Structure 1
């Protein structure tokens, strides 16, 4: 399972909910925000089901894919780079389009953009399910990522707009339950659908299962969702999107395709261009913000060192989180010959572990977020080391319970860390910048997952050297390669735990957040 923040962690609590958690029970009920237009009681809970259904689709689709990637690769006769792009391409497209998707909702109306995203996601799912070759599958996955970036940002806006503040905790709890269900059910459903080979569809059923739910959400949303948008002038930073996309692709392409193509000399060009493009993007953002305040990534966010340090911690953590299951799945299915369903049952222990501990973090981590992030990352590192030891020592005799036990530990750690990480990073950002900051954190989360998949894929291929299926030392080489990549994951988590000390300390009073001098590291 490739677990990313929007699949496993609840959104950061709205300011009203955080304040409610910090105050005594008899505190005054928060007033409705001036932009809120609560729907009639029965209708708004139906609307909640509509928008959380879209988040569930996104969560399910990410988590359902990883466990069947070896089957996809075999069926399409594709290379390992295709498998990486199938997973990382979605995360990359999502990360690069996420902030723009939120802005488009403000400009063109959240209902319109939400429905466009759901419809695009549904059509792209059909394209994935019927893809005749690897190239079209990867292209459809990229479209899926862009479409998800249109629909997911609107979910929070719909909840905050249609529900009264006193109802936000329940609404976000429902959303969290939907995300958790997608995380836990994704690997199991993927293994089951592929193993049953319904109507001879095999792995294609994991994408086609999205169609009925996508059509239902589109129909209900079109008929029931009210339209709302930001009243300010349209401000969309298309040059910023272009620069950031080019820089990210320049970084990712050599990592994924380099070894497959024999590292030709021209492959260095995009790698060398990427840092330059990132610098040009930063310069463009400063100018755009100074001109009309419409920068894709507002530079004032980085005036608080805690935010910049928090982004670095988030990026590092999710390079490990987003990539851990990819190579493990290949090890179990290609290296050891496990079935898709057996792999799914073992790796499902990870989201089960998340489900066990994330409520603890969600309820008690608001004011002790730095502690929860550090402790959770340390537990994930320990789980990765357990998995490394099991792979190395057991070899061909690796058992289901060894994999499930180690993945359960990783899940425990992620459940402690992930639900509060965004809240910690944003804790010193002023309320007026929280929307932009949240978009940046979520985009960095997705980008970290994509980079992690590329990095561990490069390590894995470098160690295996493209081992043949009938090679006598195949299992030994797979064990060596998988162990090496798991060392990367353990190191990323351990470094995350070490760097968590640079995150903000206990939450400050709201009046403190208005003073930029309070942005120094705690």
Structure 2
């Protein structure tokens, strides 16, 4: 079995010399690459005005530098996760990091809008191969219980930090308030050049420490499932991304409606493959696990609210009030400060209070965004930084309670042979949530018509969009009772028939009963 410590890549775990655990070093490399990808999504919002000006790009071309990445990413996430199960997670991850790094170099060197958009498509495609391997590595390589909880907490904290650090990093790199051409003197190109050293470090770390685990036996790629899920993803995301920019033409609504029957065909096809004993791209059995299905719905609401909140603040403060990117980014630091205050508590208590912490965290985030609605509505164009700070901090406190444990609650019940597929689905949902959140924020902030550089939002634009964020967080809080109450029982007694388990591992509520020889005991 390739997940075994006796695998050729890993050698005998018992005979390795003592030193840093390879699994944690490999996880560090995987998380570094994932952070690079997540920041690359949010950082574009700050740099976009400078890119449009320097390349002579129109508003539509500027939007496509963001949209092209998201579309390519969404199309390949599920397939990328399954390829890791089939070909080996290390191999697919290395290919994704190498391609992403080279695409970043091409984006940094772009001399025309078309060249930049093409590079962004390549970035998104390779990110679709790279990112799903992170959750797969955690699920396969770390034992259920506190060890896996720590790995998931690191991943969840990374999601929160990346969501809020992208605008800050973008402001530091491109804002002319620091130097004439930004912090590194490269202008907007620095947001892509910075990926080169990060990508090389992640590539070297993964090549050195990551074992090439895969499902045993490895499934076969689903040849019809790939284009079906790709078509459903495209039909769902393209109208949301471009519909408002084109004035909501009738065909955009038609495309969005067509996503539903295509998805239904995909589901029916996957169930048929499962009945015939073939390997489905997305095993339908995953959705018969309440923790997985409920967690996906909760993640959809949570990440839609987060993405809508940050894009609304960027639009409202930069375009509406004329704040500089750096000033917006510095105000936004209150959010990660809040995350830092509660994330460690979640790591310590999350195994036994998963449902309560996610519910409390999302409720606090709803309260924080409700405060932002009141502040932005009351101050209007006289808004300053200080009234925003406590509410942004409160949102961060809530995220620190909910996010570090969420991925663990969603993925914990997934069998190892489906880890890649589950990871791809989870990442696809969070990515689609980002698209949905930005689309909803754009509709509420700018209205239904197309947006131009001359568009001036009204004073009630930001409160309207932020009210959507509060509603999304409330929905997430309402869904939290469907999550598992805890991820580790107070007294982990083995289930009936498992008392004589030779490995002596602790049994969790979500143990599948399949011992992985590659896991730490």
**Which string of whole-angstrom CA distances, capped at 9 and with x for unpartnered residues, describes residues 222-272 of structure 1?**
566554544524511242222122122212222232232233333343123
User: Alpha carbons of 1:79 and 1:378: their partners in 2 closer, same or farther (altered >3 Å)?
Assistant: farther
Pair 1:406–1:84, CA change in 2 (3 A):
farther
Per the TM alignment, residue 321 of structure 1 is displaced from its structure 2 partner at its CA by: 1.5
Classify the secondary structure of the residue corresponding to 1:243. Answer: helix
Q: Return closer, same or farther for 1:427/1:232 CA change in 2, 3 Å cut-off.
A: closer
1:484 aligns with 2:464: yes
User: Contact 1:187–1:345 (CA<8 Å) still a contact in 2?
Assistant: no
From 279, 299, 319, the counterpart of 2:284: 299
Partner Cα distance (2:417, 2:140) in 1: 17
- Given that residues 86 and 141 in structure 1 are in contact (C-alpha distance below 8 angstroms), is that contact kept between their aligned partners in structure 2? yes
Shift of 1:450: 1.9
1:456 deviates by 1.7
Label 1:301 to 1:340 Cα distance change in 2 as closer, same or farther (>3 A).
same
Describe the SS at the equivalent of 1:479: coil
Q: Provide the residue aligned with 1:25 in structure 2.
A: none
- The alignment partner of 2:169 has SS state of helix
Return the offset for 1:341: 0.8
User: What's the CA shift string for 1:150-176, capped at 9, x where partnerless?
Assistant: 223334556777889997677777767
Measured against aligned partners, the alpha-carbon deviations of 1:31-70 in whole angstroms (never above 9, x if no partner) come to: x877675464447376555444323322432343333334
Deviations 1:267-311 (A, max 9, x none): 343123111111111111112222334212211122234533332
Query: Secondary structure, in 3 states, of the residue corresponding to 1:189?
Result: helix
- The alignment status of 1:232 with 2:220, answered yes or no, reads no
CA distance in 2, matches of 1:229, 1:168: 18
Alignment correspondent of 1:204: 189
Deviation at 1:177, TM superposition (A): 7.2
Report what 1:120 is aligned to. Answer: 99
Deviation at 1:380, TM superposition (A): 1.0
Which residue is equivalent to 1:505? 485
**2:322 pairs with 1:340:** no
Distance 1:433 1:153, change over 3 A: closer
User: SS of the counterpart of 1:309?
Assistant: helix
Aligned match of 1:249: 234
Q: Please name the residue that 2:473 is paired with.
A: 493
Name the residue aligned to 2:83.
104
- In structure 1, runs of 5+ residues without a counterpart are 1-31, 516-522
CA contact 1:187–1:348 (8 Å) conserved in 2:
no
1:392 pairs, out of 374, 377, 388, with 377
Asked if 1:189 corresponds to 2:169, the answer is: yes
1:470-518 deviation line (CA, Å, top 9, x unaligned)? x8xx4xx343222211111111111221222233334466746589xxx
CA gap of 1:116–1:463, structure 2 versus 1, over 3 A, is same
**1:309 matched to which residue of 2?**
294
CA distance in 1, matches of 2:140, 2:355: 30
The match for 1:290 is 275
Q: Distance in 2 between matches of 1:249 and 1:151?
A: 20
Once structures 1 and 2 are overlaid, which stretch shifts more, 131-140 or 443-452? Answer: 131-140
Q: Does 1:409 align with 2:375?
A: no
Paired residue for 2:500?
none
CA–CA distance in structure 2, aligned partners of residues 148 and 251 of structure 1: 19
Map of 2:506 onto structure 1: none
Structure-2 separation of matches of 1:171 and 1:289: 31
Whether the aligned pair in 2 keeps the contact of 1:354 and 1:413 (CA below 8 Å) is: yes
Which 10-residue stretch deviates more, 260-269 or 478-487?
A: 260-269
Q: 1:360 to 1:82 in 2, by over 3 A?
A: farther
> Residue 436 and residue 150 in structure 1: after superposition, are their counterparts in 2 closer, same or farther (change >3 A)?
closer
Question: Which residue number corresponds to residue 60 of structure 1?
Answer: 39
Cα distance in 2 for partners of 1:514, 1:169 equals 14
Distance 1:421 1:155, change over 3 A: closer
Question: Does the 8 Å CA contact 2:173/2:188 hold for their aligned counterparts?
Answer: yes
Q: Secondary structure at the match of 1:270?
A: helix
In structure 1, the partner of 2:110 is 131
Alpha-carbon distance in 2 for matches of 1:175, 1:478: 38
Using structure 2 for the length normalisation, give the TM-score. 0.80
2:123 pairs, out of 144, 154, 159, with 144
Q: SS in structure 2 opposite 1:322?
A: helix
In structure 2, list runs of 5 or more residues that go unmatched. Answer: 496-508, 513-521
Give the Cα separation in 2 of the matches to 1:252 and 1:293.
29
Listed one character per residue, the Cα deviations across residues 422-472 of structure 1 (whole Å, up to 9, x for unaligned) are 333345556765664444223212221122222222332317874764x8x
In structure 2, the residue matched to 1:275 is 260
In 2 relative to 1, CA 207–41 (structure 1 residues): closer, same or farther, beyond 3 Å? farther
Tell me the equivalent position of 1:361.
346
Moved more, 484-493 or 125-134: 125-134
Q: How has the CA–CA distance of structure 1 residues 105 and 432 changed in structure 2, closer, same or farther, with 3 Å as cutoff?
A: closer
Match of 1:424 in 2: 409
**Residues 244 and 163 (structure 1 numbering): CA distance in 2 closer, same or farther, change over 3 Å?**
closer
- SS of the equivalent of 2:131 reads helix
Aligned mates of 1:220, 1:438 — CA distance in 2: 21
TM-score (norm 1): 0.80
Is residue 2:309 matched to residue 1:330?
A: no
